Structure 1
Amino acid sequence: MNIGGRTTAVERAYAVLLDEIQTGALPAGAVLAEVEQSARLGISRTPLREALVRLGSEGFVVQQSPRVTVVAGIDENDIRSLFELRRGLEELAVRAAAERGDAAVFTALAESFSAAATANPGLADPAEHAGYYALISAYDAAVGDAIRNDYLASALRTVHTHLVRVRQLAKDNPERLVVSAGEHALIAGAIAEGDAALAAHATHVHLHNALISILSSIGGSSPTHTEGTP
C-alpha cells in the first residue's frame, strides 16, 4: 500500500510540476527547493525527488549543484534541435500511419481540419484556439495508435510534451493557425488515402513553416536552407 501511495504521489508531483513548467508558471531558472515544493504539493521529499529525477531525464529540469534543481532554459538552439528530431520522427510516423492506419479515422480528422481552416471567424477568434489544439492532440493520438510501434509512439510523446512549452513561449498567430489547419488537413487526407510519400512531404512542409513561425514569434532567426523544404 505504501508503494502504491508513493507512486501516486510521484505521479501527482510530476504532473503538477510539468504543467507549471509547460505553461510558464515555473519559468526557466526557477529554483525547485525540495522543502518548499514538497510542502506546497503536500507530499514528502522522497516522491518529490523521484518526480524531479523523471523531469530531469526528460530535460525539463537541471541540477545546478547537488542540492539545487532549477527549471531548464529553452532557447532558439533548443527549439531547432527539437524540430530536427521532430521532423525525423513525424515523417516516419505518418508514413507508417498511411500504411497501417484506419482510413475512416483520418478522413474524419481531415474534414475537421478543413472546417477549422475555413470557419468564419474560426481561428481568428482566440476563443477557438483551445479547441484547435484539442484537435491537434486528437490527430497526434490517432497517429500514435496507427503506427503500431510503441517505441516510436513513446519518442513522439516526449517531443510533443516539450512542444507544449514551446507553444507557450511563442505567441498564437491566427493567420498561421489557419494555414496550419490546412496543412494538417492535407496530411490527414494523405494518410487516409494511404499515400505515404505525400503524407511525409506535407509533414516536412508543415514543420518547416511551423519552425519559421515560432522563431519569428520569439525573435529568432529563420531556419537555414538545410532545414527547409526540399
Structure 2
Amino acid sequence: MKASDKVYESLRRDIVEWRLSPGTVLAEVEQSDRLGVSRTPVREALARLVADGLAVQQRGRGAIVSEISDTHVEDLFVLRRALECESARLAARSTHGADFALLAQRFETAAQQLRAEAATDGYYQLVSELDEMIDTAANNTYLSGALRTLRVHLQRVRRLAKDNPERLLESAGEHAAIARAIASGKPEVAAAATTVHLHQSFEHIMTHAVATERTP
C-alpha cells in the first residue's frame, strides 16, 4: 500500500471514530510527524479527504475536519433513502432469498443477545454483512459504489448517538424485517421495511445525537 493510502486510511478512521473531531486543523507538518511520513503523502491524503467531504479547505488554516450539522444529517438521509430503498427492491428480485432468510434469523438471535449483554461489536458486524449482501444481490455497481462512500459519513454520524440499548434492540428488529422482506421476494415490502428503519434511525440521531452536540 502506498504511503498516501496508509495516511488516508489512518486519518479517515480517526475522523470517523471521532479521534479527530469536527473543526480540528489537519496541519501537514503535525500529521506527517504524528504518522511518521513526509509531507507529500499527507498532502495527497488530505486532498482525498476533502474530496470525500470529511475535510474542508479554509483559507489561512489549510484542511480542517468538516462539521456535522442538522442539514448535513438531513441531506445524508435523503440520499440514503433513495439509494438503500432501491437497493432493497433490486435485492428482493434476486435469487438470494434463502441467504436473507438465514440472516433474518441471525438478527433475531442478535436481539436476544443484546437484551442479555452489550454485544455491540458482533451486532455491527452483522449490519455490515447485511449491507454487503444487499449490494451483492442488487448487482448494481453504481449503487454499491455510491453507498460505500455514503456509509463512511453515516459511520461518523452514528458515533454521535453512542450505543443506546433500546435503539439497538429496535434496530435489530428492523434489520430482521428488511432481510425477511427481501427473502420473501417482494420488492415494495423490502423498500417499505427499509424506509421504516431509516425513519427511525434519522429520528434517533436527530433527537439523541445532533441535538446533544448543539447543547452548550
TM-score range, shorter chain: over 0.9
State how far apart, in whole Å, the 2-side matches of 1:99 and 1:66 are.
52
Cα offset for 1:66?
A: 6.1
Question: In the alignment, which of 49, 52, 58 is matched to residue 55 of structure 1?
Answer: 49
Look up the SS of the partner of 1:113 in the other structure: helix
Question: In the alignment, which of 64, 73, 83 is matched to residue 70 of structure 1?
Answer: 64
Question: In the alignment, which of 179, 182, 193 is matched to residue 188 of structure 1?
Answer: 179
- Match status 1:209 vs 2:203: no
Cα offset for 1:67?
A: 5.7
* Alpha carbons 1:123, 1:129 under 8 Å: kept: no
Identify unmatched segments of 5+ residues in structure 1: 1-6, 222-230
Cα distance per residue 1:172-227 (max 9 Å; x no partner): 21111111111111110111121111000010011001111111112539xxxxxx
Look up the SS of the partner of 1:28 in the other structure: coil
State how far apart, in whole Å, the 1-side matches of 2:22 and 2:95 are.
39
- Match status 1:154 vs 2:148: no
RMSD: 1.6
- 1:199 matched to which residue of 2? 190
Letter aligned with residue 61 of structure 1: A
- Match status 1:110 vs 2:101: no
Question: In the alignment, which of 158, 166, 183 is matched to residue 175 of structure 1?
Answer: 166
* Alpha carbons 2:160, 2:210 under 8 Å: kept: no
Cα offset for 1:105?
A: 1.7
Identify unmatched segments of 5+ residues in structure 2: none
Where does 1:110-129 land on structure 2 (aligned, <5 Å)?
Answer: 110-117=104-111, 119=112, 122-123=114-115, 125-126=117-118, 128-129=119-120
Cα offset for 1:104?
A: 2.2
Alignment TM-score, normalising by the size of structure 2: 0.93
Question: In the alignment, which of 6, 11, 30 is matched to residue 12 of structure 1?
Answer: 6
- 1:4 matched to which residue of 2? none
State how far apart, in whole Å, the 1-side matches of 2:63 and 2:95 are.
42
State how far apart, in whole Å, the 1-side matches of 2:134 and 2:154 are.
16
Look up the SS of the partner of 1:73 in the other structure: coil
Q: How many residues align?
A: 212
State how far apart, in whole Å, the 2-side matches of 1:169 and 1:60 are.
15
* Alpha carbons 1:190, 1:198 under 8 Å: kept: yes
Q: Structure 1 pair 161/114, CA: closer, same or farther in 2 (3 Å)?
A: same
**Larger displacement relative to structure 2 (55-64 or 104-113):** 104-113
Alignment TM-score, normalising by the size of structure 1: 0.88
Cα offset for 1:91?
A: 0.3
- 1:83 matched to which residue of 2? 77
% same residue: 48
State how far apart, in whole Å, the 1-side matches of 2:43 and 2:60 are.
12
Cα distance per residue 1:21-49 (max 9 Å; x no partner): 01110001111111111121122222211
